[in-house]
Amino acid sequence: MPSDPKRDLLRHTVATLAYRGGKAIRGAPVSFGEFAGAVRTPGQILAHVGDLLDWALAMAEGKPRWQDSKPLPWDREADRFFAGLKAFDEFLASGKPLAVPEENLFQGPIADALTHVGQIAMLRRLAQVPMKGENYFLADIKVGRVGMDQAAPAREF
């Protein structure tokens, strides 16, 4: 099957979400999920990201549906995040036709998920469990690498 540049870039964006999301949730204590430093807790935000990934897959498959999920415990919500990334990436890798344009998947659920990963990173600082900053330009992000196991940071600050 010939390469599709739009789909390839979308898959790279999903891998970027896995890398950045993994960094934001990895090493956070379970209690962080309940941190009440903003309107929504990190657990509620991560549950919303899981819903966004479910929605992206449903739209890609031509079965649009939305669901507001009740947050799971932090570690289970992290597992759900990576499972959602994997399911969406596998669909993109399958070559099956998309029911909606790649641009809409990017500008809707994927861009929203990236925004929320940034919120989680910010909340870590407020909760006194910060993660190290990083030069993401140098990050070893690979299409298809969407699980918890990510490359080590190339240059942290």
Residues 6+ away with beta carbon under 8 Å from 48: 40, 68, 69, 116
Categorize the per-residue pLDDT at 132 as very low, low, confident or very high, splitting at 50, 70 and 90: very high
The domain ranges of the chain are: 5-138
Categorize the per-residue pLDDT at 1 as very low, low, confident or very high, splitting at 50, 70 and 90: low
- Residue-wise pLDDT for 36-69, tens only, equals 987 899 999 999 999 999 999 999 999 999 999 9
The whole-number pLDDT of residue 25 equals: 97
Model pTM? Answer: 0.96
Q: Are 30 and 75 in contact (CB under 8 A)?
A: yes
Over 80: is that where the pLDDT of 7 sits?
A: yes
Over 80: is that where the pLDDT of 71 sits?
A: yes
Q: Which CATH fold would you assign to the domain 5-138? A: Four Helix Bundle (Hemerythrin (Met), subunit A) (1.20.120)
- Residue-wise pLDDT for 87-108, tens only, equals 999 999 999 999 999 999 999 9
**Could you give the count of Cα atoms lying within 13 Å of 106 in the half-sphere of its Cβ?**
13
